[in-house]
Amino acid sequence: MESCVSLTNLNKWFGSFQVLDSINLSISIGEKVVICGPSGSGKSTLIRCVNALEPFQSGSVNVCGISVEKNGRNATDIQRRVGMVFQQFNLFPHLSVLKNCTLAPCRVLGLSDDEAESKAMHYLERVRIPEQASKYPADLSGGQQQRVAIARALTMEPELMLFDEPTSALDPEVVTEVLDTMVDLAETGMTMICVTHEMGFAKQVADRVVFMDEGKIIEIATPEKFFSEPTHERTKFFLSRVLG
């Protein structure tokens, strides 16, 4: 199967602290991968290297057929092809929901306002909030804001979507609406990498689960295998904590 992301021997340090330690991971087009692990294990840093938000020191990162340069010089080439959803939503508070979605397609892809708007409305309908298009982000609930963030990323029609703990900042009762949106998206065949602690989502959607600790990939397995018969002690301990 053709690969969408390929990380080879990726190393990254923050000063003298090694956050990513010899990471090797290949993700095929259409594949859904969930990354989990304790906090500080390097999961967020890993996906931030995939869309060139973070520079790295050694190894290679290949995304959508483009080799990411270590210093991030070709970052925008990657970023226009890769969508990202953040824990804190990071919607632009000064722009309406619709403008949040259309800004990048207009400025980066050179779409006309009309084209961008109809595309944005299409994705806002997909995340089931077209009626909020003219509102400002501050007028929406957290769950709605995160769904707008998903629509905003999708309006760029990315080849790959990254999710960095998309439900961690949400009230428990709205987590499901965001997860349902992500499940819907997965069903369309989008390639997805999700950093999340939502193990139910991992079981339902993931093709593979990656478990990380201290900057290393400890275990990669299908969800069935990962949850029922984890091989490493560290994974068992983590699962016992997370699944309770």
Distance CA 35, CA 218 (A): 11
Nearer to another protein, 91 or 129 (CB): 91
Distance CA 116, CA 112 (A): 6
Nearer to another protein, 77 or 207 (CB): 77
Least distance to another protein, CB of residue 81, Å = 8
Edge-to-edge order in the sheet of strand 3-14 = 17-28, 3-14, 58-63, 66-68
DSSP string spanning 182-200? HHHHHHTT-EEEEE---HH
Other C-beta atoms lying within 10 Å of the C-beta of residue 185: 22
Nearer to another protein, 8 or 88 (CB): 88
Nearer to another protein, 86 or 227 (CB): 86
Interface pattern 78-117 for another protein (x via CB under 8 A): -xxxxxx-x-x-xxxxxx-------xx--xx---------
Binding residues for another protein restricted to 62-81, rule: CB under 8 A: 75-76, 79-81
Q: Which residue has the tokens 């340090």?
A: 13
* Residues in contact with another protein by the rule CB under 8 A: 51, 53, 75-76, 79-84, 86, 88, 90-95, 103-104, 107-108, 136, 138, 152-153, 156
